[in-house]
Amino acid sequence: MIFLRSFLFLHICVLLSASGYAADSIDPVNPPKGRFTDEWAEVYMSGGKVGYSHSTMAREGDLIHTELTMKIDLGRVGQPVSIGVSQKTTETLQGAPVTFESAQDLSVMTMGMKGRVKDGKVTIVQSQYGMDQEQTFDFPKGALMSWGLFRESLLKGFEPGTKYTQRVYEPGIRLDDAITANTTVGDIETFDKKGKTYRGRRVSVVMQSPVGEMEMVSWIDDNGSPVRAQVPMPGLGNLEILASDQETALSDFVPPELFLATTIKANRSIDRKATRVKYRIRSRDKDIAIGDLPDYAGQSATVQPDGSVEVIVRRASHEMSRAKPEDADKIDLSEYLTGNLMINIDDPELQSLSKRASKGENEPFALGDNLRRFVTDYVENKNLNIGFATASEVCRNREGDCSEHGVLLAALGRLCGLPSRVAVGVVYMAAYGGQSNVFGYHMWTQFYIDHRWIDFDAALRETECSPIRIAFATSSLKNTGMADLSLPLINKIGAIDIEILEVETNSGTR
């Protein structure tokens, strides 16, 4: 499922944006010419080494060139997942971004991005499978990238109690705006790792996101060089980076099993013939709000006095409703019909595929059923070892998990005139990976039919979807990447409990 990849990618973006360079008494106003940093580190998660990171900085004339890379190998129910992220920037000596580029290698899929900042605008070109999409936004005033952030930290210094705020521009997290980072320098701390005792000054960076705060903690030595960095991953422990030499960084990967650690145990089973299910979701942390779940035809959520949320999910109905909602004509569906990087409706292969899938059907529910059945069968290699692919990628490779099914079905819907979006959340599974009666993170498709959003799930072979899904968020995928999709979930993984209160079938409620 999508969320281990997207959640991890979000944290990699944070780490690449806010740490990773040695100071070694570098003059932040006039750094030396040529390469002046070259740092290697090991990456740990769930108690095991999963990869490495490498960062460099070099000066050419009045420009600073940075390069950061990270490679991680994971296990997902016995299937390998490899994630590679690299980022390059060109910035002025004063820390103003000029150009940047990044590449995300997620198993068999690679996505690229290039950007240029000029005259207060940022122009971004995203590329995949030989197709480009260009977008231009106002560049957030005062936002910094790699060298600018590092330079600012040197200027502020590392005296205990030092505090400052920065605006971080990380297009892997958000294309059209910056994220606020609040930095606090703490005291010297010691810690043990790999049988050794390390010493470093604690530096806390709190990143402000649309769903709350995320804290990254680094430890630096007396010269400002990084010793260790941590980002919490709810339910999975910490993503940790430990400074090392190149040989050590590149050796001895032991991919941990992560997917099963993120499942949520159910208190009872759900009959797949259920027509309505009532759930209660509770947070284990009073600071984590869960009352932002979407309401649509198949789901309604109500916040309770104790802070829990009761969610009622109904089986998808394909009967036409008699009454037209009063605000039906005011709803703007344009972004659910147009293309974007994930759903390239100008791709001729996708256009050809949509004609095959529709079979000439025009009635919306029947058309949606045709598309769902086609995608279920078309994605013939149903595995967990692919990244979050675009519809064009799935069209050609015919492999993937729930996210690939969901994106391809959404694309075919738009090409056939059905407004589409994806839903992300959890799904009940009677058995998975040796576990029984659990909820796992999931993604599926919704079509706007008869003035309402209706669930279609190609991965689980359902057209009139059973009420075993709880949507945490929905997205048109406009300007959305994996990190952005994971935002509604990052503070819920490992931090919520789901209780099944009622299961209603045609024969009654129990």
Give the DSSP letter string of 340-407. -SSS-TT-HHHHHHHHHHHTT--SHHHHHHHHHHHHHHH--EE-S-S----HHHHHHH-EESHHHHHH
| Claim: this prediction has a pTM higher than 0.85 | no
Split at pLDDT 50, 70, 90, the class of 191 is confident
Structure-token match 């569906």, residue found: 333
Lowest mean pLDDT among 88-92, 198-202, 296-300, 432-436: 432-436
Closest CA to 403 of 419, 429, 418, 425: 425
Closest CA to 489 of 209, 238, 109, 77: 209
Lowest mean pLDDT among 87-96, 135-144, 193-202, 454-463: 193-202
pLDDT over 50 at 434, yes or no: yes
What's the token pair of residue 466?
């059973």
The rounded mean pLDDT for the chain is: 83
The pLDDT tens digits of the residues spanning 46-98 come to: 778 888 888 888 999 999 999 888 888 776 555 556 777 888 999 999 999 99
Lowest mean pLDDT among 39-53, 64-78, 101-115, 440-454: 101-115
The one-letter code for the residue type at 75 is: G
**Backbone phi, then psi, for 485, in 5-degree steps?**
-65, -30
Would you state the pLDDT for residue 11?
47
Split at pLDDT 50, 70, 90, the class of 208 is confident
Architecture of the domain defined by 263-315+336-505: Roll (3.10)
The pLDDT tens digits of the residues spanning 364-382 come to: 999 999 999 999 999 987 6
Where in 2-141 does DSSP place strands (E)?
34-45, 48-60, 63-76, 79-92, 97-106, 109-118, 121-128, 131-138
The pLDDT tens digits of the residues spanning 268-303 come to: 999 878 999 999 999 887 767 777 899 998 999 999
pLDDT over 70 at 8, yes or no: no
Integer CA distances (angstroms), 292 to 228, 285, 288, 300, 308, in order: 35, 16, 11, 11, 11
**Rounded-to-integer distance, Cα 4 and Cα 76, Å:** 9
Q: Strand 399-400 relative to strand 381-382: parallel, antiparallel, unpaired?
A: parallel
pLDDT over 50 at 362, yes or no: yes
pLDDT over 60 at 484, yes or no: no
DSSP labels, 72-112: EEEEETTEEEEEEEEEEEEEETT--EEEEEEEEEETTEEEE
